């Protein structure tokens, strides 16, 4: 027994590096051990955990904004089912994205923190969700652009090739799961905004234009 203890001590001294194996070796059979290096962390992902957490929280906040906009357009006075559908879908996909981000953070050895906020994020309470159709599309476009730029920011952090930060796996995840879809979404909203603005240019027929555009949204989504 004594010889095993001596051997353990010797092995522990021989491996001073911070790796899981050394934690296991140096614990050497004792019950209460803290295997602090035995986790899924590697590369630069843990350097951007705060950014990823904030990004997930931003998605949750925007998802609720979109949901409020959807219910506003869905009420009996507004009665714009196409706009309701547009913002409802966007709310759902933004919600799914936040779940995906949280799963990704934990996959890379991090933990979700629902309080993490970047200081640049505006508080949601100041916003009003009862908007006219064109204003709502404009806000949708701005928000989608902001979310897309958020992904670009994190991507920039992990592709700097700076020691400890470089992590193409995070970059690739963002590209695959966010960036291509975000580009399409920004393009769609820019198109809707432009179309509706042109339709509303005909002053005598704004009600009809809005009705037709709403119907188009209902059918195309
Ligand atoms: C979560 O984020 C908040 C705000 O950034 C911070 O104050 C808090 O310490 C964080 N909690 C954990 C467990 O990291």
Report the 10 Å Cβ neighbour count for 64.
14
Residue range(s) defining the domain that contains residue 28: 1-38
- Report d(CA 207, CA 179) in Å as an integer: 36
Residue whose Cα lies nearest atom 4 of ligand 1: it is 116
Residues 172 and 215 in one domain: yes
Residue whose Cα lies nearest atom 12 of ligand 1: it is 113
Task: Establish whether residue 115 lines the binding site of ligand 1, counting it when its CB lies within 6 angstroms of any ligand atom.
Answer: yes
Average pLDDT value over all residues in the chain = 89
pLDDT greater than 50 at residue 181: yes
Residues 50 and 150 in one domain: yes
Band the pLDDT of 164: cuts 50, 70, 90: confident
pLDDT greater than 90 at residue 121: no
Task: Establish whether residue 121 lines the binding site of ligand 1, counting it when its CB lies within 6 angstroms of any ligand atom.
Answer: no
When divided into structural domains, the chain yields a total of 2
Q: Which two tokens stand for residue 103?
A: 């799963």
Write out pLDDT tens, residues 85-101. Answer: 999 999 999 999 999 99
CATH number at residue 158: 1.20.1260.10
Q: CA triplet 111, 113, 114: central angle to 5 degrees? A: 145
Residues 205 and 174 in one domain: yes
Of 194, 158, 189, which is closest to residue 173 (Cα–Cα)? 158
More confident residue, 84 or 14: 84
| pTM (2 d.p.) | 0.88
Residues 32 and 52 in one domain: no
Residues 27 and 94 in one domain: no
Taking the alpha carbons of 37, 38, 44, 46 in that order, is the dihedral positive or negative? Answer: negative
């Amino acid at each position: 027994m004594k010889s095993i203890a001596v051997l353990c001590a010797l092995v522990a001294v021989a491996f001073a590096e911070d790796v899981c194996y050394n934690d296991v070796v140096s614990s050497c059979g004792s019950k209460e051990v803290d295997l602090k290096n035995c986790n899924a962390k590697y590369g630069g992902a843990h350097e951007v955990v705060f950014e990823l957490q904030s990004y997930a929280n931003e998605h949750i906040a925007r998802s609720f904004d979109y949901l409020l906009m959807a219910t506003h357009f869905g009420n009996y006075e507004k009665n714009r089912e196409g706009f309701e559908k547009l913002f409802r879908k966007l709310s759902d996909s933004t919600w799914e994205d936040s779940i995906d981000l949280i799963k990704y953070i934990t996959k890379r050895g991090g933990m979700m923190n629902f309080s993490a906020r970047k200081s640049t994020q505006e508080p949601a309470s100041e916003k009003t969700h009862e908007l006219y159709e064109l204003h709502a599309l404009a806000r949708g476009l701005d928000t989608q652009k902001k979310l897309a730029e958020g992904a670009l920011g994190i991507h920039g952090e992990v592709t700097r090739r700076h020691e400890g930060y470089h992590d193409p796996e995070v970059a690739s995840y963002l590209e695959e799961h966010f960036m291509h879809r975000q580009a399409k979404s920004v393009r769609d909203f820019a198109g809707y905004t432009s179309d509706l603005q042109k339709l509303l240019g005909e002053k005598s027929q704004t009600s009809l234009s809005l009705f037709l555009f709403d119907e188009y949204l209902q059918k195309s989504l």
